[in-house]
Structure 1
Amino acid sequence: MLTPDGRYIVVRGRLWRAADPHLDPEQRQTLVDALMAARRGVRAALAGGDGEALRAARADVHAAKVALGERGEVWWTDGAPDLNRRRIENTPYAAWWSLRGASAD
């Protein structure tokens, strides 16, 4: 579920930064494709026990997530802090979340 301001998705009661909505749709898809390929690389490196390939694949995951706006500098410009990975009940979104009900997650 996306927060009202579109900055985060909520997964099991935790905030995760959403991708930058200002990305061009084609650019966003290219980055999502790169992220999925990098995640497959992580899985393959883990299965093969290849530490060097694992480090490289994880770096590729990180780079794709930064490019998408999910990590690194925030994509919004109003100075609001980054609440990524925080429990929603410990954030300014707590009241909104409680109105959604327990089944909203």
Structure 2
Amino acid sequence: MADVDSERWLVIDGRRWRRTDPSLPDDVVAALKSHLGRGRSAVGAAKGRGDDEAVAAARERVGLAKRGLGERGPRWWDEPEADRLARAQEALRRLGELDAE
């Protein structure tokens, strides 16, 4: 059971964080992590400006990326791999739409 838990969870300072879905292709993970990093940076910048609307928009991007990675939302280990990949690809599609706005 400990091996399964270590595949699913990362523990830092006693807090448990869900790991990225290991079945996702490397290019999908890289693209989602790029969006995640940019979203986190945008949250910090918007907070610094005191722009609550921009903070909310940036947090939406972070949430989309984390759901695509399997780090939020349904537990990836409870779903078929095809559904997990479809969720990641849908997150990338939606993030791309946000970039185009």
Other-structure match for 1:16: 17
Q: Distance in 2 between matches of 1:59 and 1:8?
A: 23
Task: Give structure 1 stretches of 5+ with no counterpart.
Answer: 79-105
Q: Distance in 2 between matches of 1:4 and 1:48?
A: 44
CA drift of 1:36 comes to 0.1
Other-structure match for 2:42: 41
Instruction: Give % identity.
Output: 42
Q: Give the structure with the higher percent helix.
A: 2
Other-structure match for 2:74: 73
TM-score (normalised: structure 2): 0.72
Other-structure match for 1:88: none
CA drift of 1:15 comes to 1.0
Task: Determine which structure has more spread, i.e. the larger CA radius of gyration.
Answer: 1
Q: Distance in 1 between matches of 2:11 and 2:26?
A: 22
Q: Distance in 1 between matches of 2:13 and 2:70?
A: 21
Mapping for residues 94-105 of structure 1, pairs under 5 Å? none
Other-structure match for 1:62: 63
Residues 1:4 and 2:29 aligned together: no
Q: Distance in 2 between matches of 1:58 and 1:10?
A: 23
Task: Give structure 2 stretches of 5+ with no counterpart.
Answer: 80-101
Which one scores higher on RCO, CA 8 angstroms, separation ≥ 6?
Answer: 1
CA drift of 1:49 comes to 0.6
Structure 1 outlier segments of 4+, above 6 Å: none
**How many residues are aligned here?**
76
